[in-house]
Structure 1
Amino acid sequence: MDELSFLFNPKHVAVIGASSSPKKIGYAIVDNLIKSGYKGEIYPINPKEKEIAGLKCYPSIDKINKPVDLAVISIPAERAVEAARQCGEAGVKGLIVITAGFKEIGKEGAKRERELQAICRRYNMRMIGPNCVGVMDTHTPVNASFSRGLPNQGHISFISQSGAMLLAILDWSFTMGMGFSRFVSLGNKADLDEIDIIESCALDPQTRVIICYLEDVTDGERFVRVCSEASKKKPIIILKSGTSSAGAQAASSHTGALAGSNRAYDTAFRQSGVLRVEDMNELFDLARAFATQPLPAGNRVAIVTNAGGPAIIATDAIEQYGLAMARFTKETLDSLRENLPAEGNIYNPVDILGDANDDRYRFALEKVLQDENVDSLLVLVCPTASTEPEKTAHTIIEMRKKNPKKPILAVYMGGRDLAAGAD
C-alpha cells in the first residue's frame, strides 16, 4: 500500500494563501486543482476573501471542520511555519510547502526549516518542500502546483529537485506530445525526499518509468536499498548535476544541497540498478523508450541498416555499453543469403544496401525478429533515392505489433527527406 496516497490521490485539499488575483501563486494553485479535473473537495483559505473561483473561502484551516488530507501552503515564509502548526493541530495528513525562504537563503532560513521539520514530526505529517513547485498526478487526477497546466497523460514519473527544470520540461512535453503519470518538485527535501517518492512511484500502477533530476541524494544507504528493489520492477533513470566543484557549489546555494563524490554516486547508482545519464536529451530519450517498449529478455541486439557507417558506430556503442551483437541461427542466415543482394551483409549488422526499398526492409526485419537469438532490434534508415521513409515507418510499427516482447528502436538518420517517416 502506498503511504503517500494523500499526496497523489487526496480526497480533501486546503490551499493556504489562496487568492482571487490571477497574478498570485495562490490563485494558480486553486485554478490548477479545478482545471485538472480533481474530484475531491477544495478549501481555499484566506481571511480576507469570502469566495475564490466559486468556492467558499475559510479564514483558517481550523474553521473548515472537515477532514483535510493535504494542505498546500503559499504564504510568506515567516507565516508558513505557524500555518503548518495549525495544520498539524487540525489533523492534516500532508503538506506541500510552496514557499521559499528556508535553508536555501542561509542561517535564518535554516532555523525556520528546522521548525517546520519539528512540527511535521510532532503531528506525524509528511511534507513536500519547502521551496517547491508542487505535485501533479495525471491519472487521479490532481494538480497541486503553480505550473501552467497538467501534463498529458502517460506512464513516466518525473521527480525533480529543481522547480524551474520541472516547469521547463512540462512546457517542452506539450510541444513533444510526451505523456507523464506524475510530476514531483522536491524543493529543499526537509521531509519527503527522492527516496520516498521513488518508493511511491514504484507502487503506482500507472508509472512504468521513473526519471529524476537530482542535485544530491539524502541518504546513500537507504537510496541503494530502495532503488535496488524498485529497479527490479521499473527502470529508474537519473540525471545528477553538481558533478564539478563549481556545480556542487551552485547546487548548495540553490536548494542547500550537500555535495558528494561523483565517483560515490556512480557506485551507488550502479549498485542499485539505476541508469545514470549525462544530459536532458538522454534522460528523455531513455524515458520514452522504456515507457513505450517492452523490456528485452536479454542483451542480444540485432541491427538492420541500409548504410554501413552508421551500423559500425551502432555496433561500437552496443559493445561499449555492455550489450552484445546477436548471432543469428543457421536458418536465419540461410534465408537472408537466399533473398538479399550478394553485395550486402547477412551477418549482424545486416546491411541491406543503399538501394533498399520498403520490401527489402520488411523481409529483413521479419526474419531477424523471428530469430530466437535476438532480444531487441535496431533499425537504421538513411536517405537515398530508394528509401521509402513512410512505408518503412508503417512496416516498423507493424513489426512492433507482431513482436510485442521484443523492443524495436528506429533511427532515421537525416532531416527533410526522412521527416515524413520520422514523424
Structure 2
Amino acid sequence: MDLQAFFEPRTVAVIGASDKPGKIGHTVVANMLGAGFAGRLIPVNPKGGTIEGLPVTTSAGDLPKGLDLAVIAVPRDAVLPALRELVEIRAKSAIVITAGFKEVGKEGFLLERDMAALAAESGMALLGPNCLGMMNTGHGVNASFAAGQPSKGPIAFFSQSGALCVAILDWALGENIGFSKFVSLGNKAALDESRMLEYLGRDPNTKVILGYIENVEHGQEFLRQAAAVTRAKPVIMIKSGTTAAGAKAASSHTGAIAGSDAAYTAAFRQSGVIRVADVESLFNLAEAFSHQPLPRGPNLGIVTNSGGPGILAADACERSRLHMASLSPATIAKLQSFLPSFAALYNPVDIIGDSDPARYKQAIEAVLTDPMVHSLLVILTPVASVEVEATAQVIVDLSRRSDKPIFACFMGKKQVAPGRRILQEGGVPCYAFPEPAIRSIESMYVHALNRARPEPVYPEVVRDLERARAVIDRAVTRGLTEIVEFEAQEMLAAYDLPTPKTMLARGSDEAVAAAEAIGYPVVLKIASPQISHKSDVGGVKVGLADAAAVRAAFFDITTRAQRLRRDAYIAGCLVQEMAPKGSREVIIGFKRDEQFGPLLMFGLGGIYVEILKDIAFRLAPLSRADAFEIVREIRSYMLLKGVRGEQPVNFKAIEDIILTMSRLALDFPEVYEAEFNPVLVNHERAVVADVRMTLHLNGPETHSQE
C-alpha cells in the first residue's frame, strides 16, 4: 500500500470541522494551520461559512476528486456514510478520529468491520478509528487533535494508545525531542504496525522507529516487515498486556486480544526488534541511536571522577553482553603521564574528584584512541571542584570528532542540570545513573550484531506429506482430539524423526518376542488412543531385562489401565528399546499462538521444565541459527554441554529435531500443539521417546508457509 498521499498530502479535508475552539474538529484545523501546511486545507461542515478564515465545504461529496487525505471527526453513526462519500470521490486516505467502535462492543465491532471492508475494496489507506491522528513534521502536517506542535527530528513514533501519544508528545516537547512522524494507530481497522514499519523503514527522514503496541493483528506479516526494517534501522518497542491483568485491560481498551508474552518475546528477538519495559527507556534508546554511531564491538571504556560510580558501571557491564575493555600498555602509560599517582589507571579509569575539564579531555582522548575500546562512558559526580558545563562541552566536542559512541552519566539533578542540557543539545546521551547508560550501549551493540547477521537459512526437512496426512485424517474421521504415541509413531516415521526401536505387542507372547527382537533391556508402555498421560495409570515400565519381567509388566500395565480407564481402548503395549547410554532428557514442543502461529519451546525434561520453567521459545519457521540459539538459551545449557567430565550431547541432533518440529507445525495447522517428551540425547544421537499431539478440529486460522 502506497502511503505517500497519507503522509505527504497536498489536499486535506477535515470532515466535522468546527468554528468552536475546544471542539476536535476545530483543533484539527488549527493544528494543520499551526504546522505550516502548504497545501489546500478544506473544512467540511453542513453549516458552511468559514473556519479559521478558510471557506467551508458543506458535504464530503463536494470535495475535489482524488483528495489526498480526509480527517473524520463526526459522531460514530455518521462515519460510515462519510467514508462512502469519500470512496465516491476516490479519496486516497482517511483518518477516523471518532471513537465508539470495537472497543465498546458488538455494534461498534460490526461498524468497524464494514469500514475496514470499504477501505480494502476501494484501496483507501485508513487510520483508526479511535485515534489521535497523525503528524509529519517534514511536510507541515499535524492531522491530529493533540496539544502542541513537535519539532523536526529523526525519530518516528507510532502507538496503539491515543492517550499515551498525548502524554509522550507533551513529555517530548518538554525534553525538546523532535519527531519525523507521529502516528496514533487506534483500533487498527486497516493501517497497523506492519504497514507503519514498511513505510517508515523506507522513510529517509526517519532514523529510529519507536512503537507502543497492545497486540499484533497479523503476526507473520509483522515478523517479515520488522526483520527487513531492523537490518537498516533500529526498531524499539513497548509491548503492554504482558500480565493477566494487563492482557485483560488491553482487550477492554482497544478490543485487542493480547497474545502470549512468550510469543511476543520470541517475535521481537527473531525479527531484531529491541523491546523495552518503559517509556523512559524507549526515549533513552531513541536519543542514543539518533546521535551516536553504533559500536564496532562489545568492549567498553569508562572514565570517572569517582570510584564508586565506576564500580557500579563495571558491575552493570559484566551483567550485560558488553565487556570491560582491557587497556593497552601504551594507553596506560599515556594515562600515567598526566594523572595523579593515586589515580586508577586500569578500566574503569578513575581520574580523581578534583579533575578539571582539561584532565577529563586528556583521559577521554587516551581511552578513546585505544584500539580495544569500542565505546566510552564518561561519569561525572558533582563534587565541589568540578566544572560541570565546561566538562560537558569537552565531551560534546570530542564526541563530534569521534567515530566511537560516547555516553555520559552526570549523576545527580540540580547541580548537573546545565551540563546535561549541553550534552543533550550536542547529541551526547546523558543519564543520571550508570545502569541505564549501560543498557543503552548494550542495545546499540546488540543491534549492530543483528545488522551484521547473515540472512537466515531455512533447511529442507525430509518428509512424506501423504503419509503424515493419512495419520491426521484418520484421527479427524474418528473425532479424536489427541494423537498419542500409540498412533503418532507413523507421523514420526513420515518426518524421518529418530525414534527408539518400537514394536506394538497385543499380548504378552508378542511382547516377549518384540523384546527379544529389539534386545534387552526394554521399556513397556500402554498403547491406547485415549491415554496420553501414561504415568497417571502406571502405564510405563522400564529396565525390563528378561522374558519373565516383560510378561509380568505387560499383565500389570494392561490390567491396571483397564481398571482405571474403563472408557479406553487398550490395544496392548509398545515395546521399546531403552534410552541410549548416558542420555539426558529434553523436551521439544509447540503451541499455536493466536497472533503469530506455532510457538516452539525447548527445555530440559523432568523437573527442569515442570518446576524451574527453564524454557526457551521461538516462532516458526525456525532458521538453522534459531535452532542453534534456542538450545543454548536455557539457563541449564551447561548440563547439556557436560559438567565434571561428562561428554557434551549431540547438539546438532537436537537442532535437527527442533527444525523438523517447526516444519511439521507449519505443514499441519490442524495440530494445535505437540510435544516430544522426552527426547533422549547423548553424545552420539538423539531419539524421540514419546510424542503427543492435540488437534484443533474447528478450522483454525492457518499460518502454514510453503
CA distance in 2, matches of 1:32, 1:341: 58
In structure 2, what is the equivalent of residue 20 of structure 1?
Answer: 19
> What is the DSSP-based 3-state SS (H/G/I as helix, E as strand, rest coil) of the residue aligned with 2:71?
strand
Map 1:21-420 onto structure 2 (within 5 A): 21-403=20-402, 405-420=403-418
CA distance in 2, matches of 1:54, 1:173: 31
> What is the DSSP-based 3-state SS (H/G/I as helix, E as strand, rest coil) of the residue aligned with 1:302?
strand
The Cα shift of 1:178 comes to 1.4
Counterpart amino acid of residue 415 in structure 1: K
Aligned partners of 1:210 and 1:234 also within 8 Å:
yes
In structure 1, what is the equivalent of residue 420 of structure 2?
Answer: 422
CA distance in 2, matches of 1:91, 1:206: 28
Unaligned runs of 5+ in 2: 422-706
Q: Deviations over 1:52-98 (max 9, x none)?
A: 22222112222124430111111111110111111111101111000
Counterpart amino acid of residue 343 in structure 1: F
Counterpart amino acid of residue 196 in structure 2: I
Unaligned runs of 5+ in 1: none
CA distance in 2, matches of 1:357, 1:191: 57
Deviates more, 1:344-353 or 1:190-199: 344-353
CA distance in 2, matches of 1:278, 1:285: 12
CA distance in 2, matches of 1:359, 1:55: 59
CA distance in 1, matches of 2:64, 2:233: 41
Counterpart amino acid of residue 124 in structure 1: G
CA distance in 2, matches of 1:192, 1:267: 23
The Cα shift of 1:369 comes to 1.1
The Cα shift of 1:187 comes to 0.1
> What is the DSSP-based 3-state SS (H/G/I as helix, E as strand, rest coil) of the residue aligned with 2:103?
helix
Counterpart amino acid of residue 283 in structure 1: L
Q: Deviations over 1:156-177 (max 9, x none)?
A: 1111111011011111222111
% identical equivalent positions: 49
CA distance in 2, matches of 1:64, 1:354: 69
> What is the DSSP-based 3-state SS (H/G/I as helix, E as strand, rest coil) of the residue aligned with 1:380?
strand
Q: Deviations over 1:221-241 (max 9, x none)?
A: 221211111112111111111
Deviates more, 1:116-125 or 1:127-136: 116-125
CA distance in 2, matches of 1:242, 1:268: 15
Aligned partners of 1:198 and 1:227 also within 8 Å:
yes
> What is the DSSP-based 3-state SS (H/G/I as helix, E as strand, rest coil) of the residue aligned with 1:105?
coil
Counterpart amino acid of residue 330 in structure 1: P
State the TM-score, normalizing by the size of structure 1: 0.96
Deviates more, 1:131-140 or 1:280-289: 280-289
What value does the CA root-mean-square deviation take over the aligned residues? 1.4
Counterpart amino acid of residue 182 in structure 1: K
Counterpart amino acid of residue 34 in structure 1: L
Q: Deviations over 1:348-406 (max 9, x none)?
A: 11111223222221111011111222221100001223322122111101111221x21
CA distance in 2, matches of 1:54, 1:71: 19
Deviates more, 1:279-288 or 1:48-57: 48-57
CA distance in 1, matches of 2:43, 2:415: 54
Aligned partners of 1:36 and 1:149 also within 8 Å:
no
Paired residue total: 421
CA distance in 2, matches of 1:422, 1:149: 24
Aligned partners of 1:18 and 1:46 also within 8 Å:
yes
CA distance in 2, matches of 1:69, 1:225: 28
> What is the DSSP-based 3-state SS (H/G/I as helix, E as strand, rest coil) of the residue aligned with 1:191?
coil
> What is the DSSP-based 3-state SS (H/G/I as helix, E as strand, rest coil) of the residue aligned with 2:379?
strand
The Cα shift of 1:260 comes to 1.1
Deviates more, 1:57-66 or 1:136-145: 57-66
State the TM-score, normalizing by the size of structure 2: 0.58
Q: Deviations over 1:117-159 (max 9, x none)?
A: 1111121111110000000011112001111132111111111
Q: Deviations over 1:26-45 (max 9, x none)?
A: 11111111111111111211
Aligned partners of 1:10 and 1:70 also within 8 Å:
yes
CA distance in 2, matches of 1:246, 1:397: 44
Q: Deviations over 1:283-336 (max 9, x none)?
A: 111111211222222222111111122122212222323122222233212212
Q: Deviations over 1:255-287 (max 9, x none)?
A: 111111112111111111111111111111111
CA distance in 2, matches of 1:181, 1:95: 20
Counterpart amino acid of residue 417 in structure 1: Q
CA distance in 2, matches of 1:170, 1:148: 8
Aligned partners of 1:89 and 1:123 also within 8 Å:
no
> What is the DSSP-based 3-state SS (H/G/I as helix, E as strand, rest coil) of the residue aligned with 1:333?
helix
The 3 A distance-change label for structure 1 pair 23 and 339 is: closer
> What is the DSSP-based 3-state SS (H/G/I as helix, E as strand, rest coil) of the residue aligned with 2:166?
helix
CA distance in 2, matches of 1:30, 1:58: 13
